[in-house]
Amino acid sequence: MTELGVSFPHYRRNRICLTVDFVAFGMAMAFVNINTVLPSFVSRLTDSALLVGLISTLVSGSWLLPQLIAANYLVHKPRKKPYLLLPAALGRPTWWLLATLLVLVGDSAPALVLTAFFAVLVLFMGSDGLAAVAWFDILNKSIPAERRGRLVGTAQILSGLASVGVGWLVGEILGADGPPFPYNYALLFFLSGVSLLISLVALVFLRERKLEAPPGTKGEEKFWRRLWTVLRNDRQFRLVTAVRLLFGLGGMATPFYMVYGTEVLALPPETIGLATSMQVLGSIIAGVVLGYIQEKQGSKLVVLCSTALGVAVPLLALLTRALPGGTLLLTWVYASVFVVIGIVNSSIMLGFLNFVMELAPPHDNPTYMGLYNALSGLLLITPMVGGWLLEATSYAALFAWSAMGAGLGLLLSFRLKEPRQQ
């Protein structure tokens, strides 16, 4: 038996399961894209920029903050799969509940719909955040580091190709010939739930190898002590976390690019589908280019590319202000913003998360991932800060501040060291 087969049993089976899960989950998120579909949905129910910004805040906070609790609980568990499947099975049907409410209520009670929408967002992202710690640990145990870039890159390409069709379908559903509001969004939420069910079935067929925790890892007090030890002793962990936080400041404008396009640039509603497809195209590019870089050169170079592109997004948005309205050039510059957003979003797993997984000792992967993601939760207020900044100033100011935050992350990222060489 090959060394790969000994160290990573069920490699081929798990590679297929993880790929199907990744693709189906990516399609589900394309139906409810947090940068295009969800901001446009909320803006149909309210004029508040703060509530539009609240989408990204709740997505980040609900997904990131529970992971520290999950890491504490899972770090000494020899098998993580049950703790992946249970929260996923509880959280994913909530999109069907929201779709049902929209069909029953229509647009007669916007306050009720908004409340239900934000509740579903918290429940779904919170359950997925709990499952994520187990998912990353299973990925770490199932796929060798030098092949994760290939798997994630391939999955992103396939997910991107499938989601191009999703973007076209989103445009048709939200276009003039689609169902009226809010039934058009109810259909998108239902289709997202179907894709999430396919993803869940793929996870059921995963085979996880048992890995006993070393002595001395049990106990809540020891867990919190290990968190402090990681922060105090692992300089590269502190650096990559700081880069992620600065890079994340560039995301304060992300929820508003779609609203900016439709309200300020006066682009038609059908461009929501175009923007979704362009973001998917970006994820395909990331899978091809950054997946290859991650496999051949490592995670540090991907982090550098990611932070550089994070600076480019708000700068491209600023460029649209100098272009004449109603022109093909404006449309394609606007579309390029979402291409780069797609690359940036896809590069986070290829770059930052792979960096942390390769940095962590094998048995302490849940601790590193939980701590990293929990600290990244400090970014949960940035979209609301972006909403406040937009209401107090202008889109130009918001985009400029976003570019400066990402630029600081880019400068700091040059101090990282490739974890494979340490």
State the residue for tokens 């079935």. 201
Residue 3 is predicted with a pLDDT of 46
> pLDDT tens across 59-74, in order?
877 887 777 777 767 7
The answer, yes or no, to whether residue 1 has pLDDT greater than 50, is no
What's phi and psi for 174, nearest 5 deg?
-90, -5
The answer, yes or no, to whether residue 2 has pLDDT greater than 50, is no
Q: Per-domain residue ranges for the chain?
A: 9-207+218-416
Residue from 201, 223, 207, 258 nearest 42 by CA: 258
Mean pLDDT across 215-224: 56
Residue 4 is predicted with a pLDDT of 52
Q: At a CB cut-off of 8 Å and minimum separation 6, what does 113 contact? A: 45, 101, 102, 105, 107, 182
The answer to whether 302 touches 290, Cβ cutoff 8 Å, is yes
**Class of CATH domain 9-207+218-416:** mainly alpha
Distance CA(78)–CA(394), nearest Å, equals: 52
Distances (CA, A) of 248 to 86, 88, 116, 159, 347: 30, 26, 27, 24, 13
Distance CA(370)–CA(364), nearest Å, equals: 10
Residue 70 is predicted with a pLDDT of 74
The conformation of residue 146, written as its DSSP 8-state character, comes to H
Distance CA(73)–CA(76), nearest Å, equals: 7
> pLDDT tens across 119-160, in order?
999 999 989 888 888 888 888 778 877 777 778 778 878 887
pLDDT above 90 as % of the chain: 19
The answer, yes or no, to whether residue 109 has pLDDT greater than 70, is yes
The residue among 221 and 353 whose pLDDT is bigger is 353
Distance CA(416)–CA(86), nearest Å, equals: 37
> pLDDT tens across 13-71, in order?
888 999 999 999 989 988 998 877 888 898 888 888 778 878 877 887 788 777 777 77
Number of Cβ within a 10 Å radius of residue 99: 22
Per residue in 16-43, is it b (16+ CB within 10 Å) or e — as a string? ebbbbbbbbbbbbbbbbbbbbbbbbbbb
**Structure tokens, 321:** 């202000």
Q: At a CB cut-off of 8 Å and minimum separation 6, what does 97 contact? A: 116, 120
Residue 211 is predicted with a pLDDT of 62
Q: What is the mean pLDDT of the chain?
A: 82
Residue 75 is predicted with a pLDDT of 66
Q: Map residue 326 onto helix, strand or coil.
A: coil
> pLDDT tens across 259-310, in order?
888 788 877 776 777 787 788 788 888 878 887 888 788 888 989 998 999 9
